[in-house]
Amino acid sequence: MKKKRKKSTRWGWLRRAAAQAWKLPDVVLRFVVQWWSTRPWTSLLLGLPAIVFGLALLAVEPLHSRSLPGEWARRYDRAGMAALREGDLQAADVYFRRVAFLDEDSPAACFGLALTAERQEDLPRARRWMLRIAADSAAGYPAAHAWLAKDLMRRKTPLDAQGARVLEHHLLQASRSGAHALESRVNLAQLYMLGGETGKAVAQMERAAAERPALQLDLARLYALAGRSADARRVAAKAGEFFEARTQAEPDQPQYRLAWASSLVLQERHKEAVQVLTAGLKLADPEPFHKALGAVYLHWLAASTTPEKPNAARQLEFLD
């Protein structure tokens, strides 16, 4: 009998708890209804703007925290470039200084500040900014090297040997960038030609002509100067095909016709060159074609006579 009472005591609290659990939903429902009907909703409405603002901050904060400083630096850099294009130099200066604050090692900040200084006509300050990221004797930011090379070339004073070496360095570093490679190689070819380094000039122009067919004529001229006559005629023939097509497509553009005639001269097809130039005399400005015809006739004369075996009749014909 004693054992029975203990068993009843042991499980009695479970039965009572189960009985109360069935009543729990009804209790909760009555509490919610009572709470809802007794709330002062005016206070909630007054505080609603603050609640909305707080929720908005909670939504924005994770997005802001996921934006790394590098991403903000890129955004400021784009904004600075846009401000430069629009002529707002003060805004550009602010944006690029923000880039420098977010990323001290970013060359974009120095480059942007240099461009801003250039637009403000402060070239000494622009050069100082550029030299921070593109030294005269080390590899740096290709766009800054391209700017410094142009800065050297546009100066009125001729370059000495040291200046030529610095210019070569900047052009070589600028050619590492796809955006500046073509122009840098053309300028390098010209620099090497001025220095008498024909082989280096040809190598640079070969790479440039592979990207732009219009430069094949310049390459053919370099081959001729280097004494590579066969290569000069071969490349001149390709240039002639290119400029002939452009002349037929745009017959009113004199530069294409003049280049076509030059390619024919390099192939020693002087008579055809004269015909091409003679047709250009009908254009609005015939003066360039008169000069080009004179040059062709002189070249033709030099090619057909020699000092050892002068042909007086031929010389008179050309001079006439």
Nearest 5°: phi and psi at 36? -65, -40
250 and 315 inside one domain: yes
**Whole-number Å distance between alpha carbons of 172 and 165:** 11
Q: What is the tens place of the pLDDT at every residue in 291-304? A: 998 898 888 888 77
> C-alpha distances in angstroms, 180 versus 139, 201, 213?
15, 17, 17
Work out the percent of the chain whose per-residue pLDDT is above 90: 56
173 and 231 inside one domain: no
**Whole-number Å distance between alpha carbons of 61 and 63:** 5
Enclosing domain of residue 84: 67-132
Q: What is the tens place of the pLDDT at every residue in 105-136? A: 789 899 999 999 999 999 999 999 999 999 99
Write 235-239 long-range contacts (CB < 8 A, 24+).
235/209, 236/263, 236/264, 236/266, 236/267, 237/263, 237/267, 238/213, 239/213, 239/214, 239/263, 239/266
- Residue with the two structure tokens 């007086």: 312
Q: Which of 177, 211, 245 is the last residue of a domain?
A: 211
With 90 as the cut, is the pLDDT of residue 187 above it? Answer: yes
120 and 146 inside one domain: no
91 and 167 inside one domain: no
Q: Which of 103, 132, 161 is the last residue of a domain?
A: 132
For the domain that residue 150 is a member of, what is the CATH number?
1.25.40
Q: What is the pLDDT of residue 2?
A: 46
Sign, CA torsion 281/283/289/290? positive
Q: What is the tens place of the pLDDT at every residue in 221-254? A: 999 999 999 999 999 999 999 999 999 999 999 9
In a domain, 61, yes or no: no
Q: What tokens appear for 101 in the block?
A: 């604050």
SS3 for 109-126 is HHHHHHHHHHHCCCHHHH
Number of domains in the chain: 3
109 and 141 inside one domain: no
**Whole-number Å distance between alpha carbons of 80 and 288:** 44
With 90 as the cut, is the pLDDT of residue 210 above it? Answer: yes
CB atoms near residue 52 (< 10 Å): 10
Sign, CA torsion 43/46/49/50? negative
In a domain, 116, yes or no: yes
With 70 as the cut, is the pLDDT of residue 143 above it? Answer: yes
Residue 49: pLDDT band (50, 70, 90) is confident
In a domain, 37, yes or no: no
* Cα–Cα nearest to 76, from 55, 54, 53, 101: 101
> C-alpha distances in angstroms, 119 versus 67, 86, 124, 239?
31, 12, 12, 39
In a domain, 14, yes or no: no
305 and 265 inside one domain: yes
For the domain that residue 90 is a member of, what is the CATH number?
1.25.40.10
Q: Which of 113, 132, 151 is the last residue of a domain?
A: 132
What's the count of helices (H) and strands (E) in the chain, helices before strands?
16, 0
Mean pLDDT of the chain: 83
Work out the percent of the chain whose per-residue pLDDT is above 70: 74
The residue ranking higher by pLDDT, 25 or 200, is 200
> C-alpha distances in angstroms, 184 versus 109, 164, 206?
23, 14, 13
174 and 140 inside one domain: yes
Measured N-to-C along each axis, helices 142-153 and 181-194 cross at an angle, to the nearest 10 degrees, of: 40
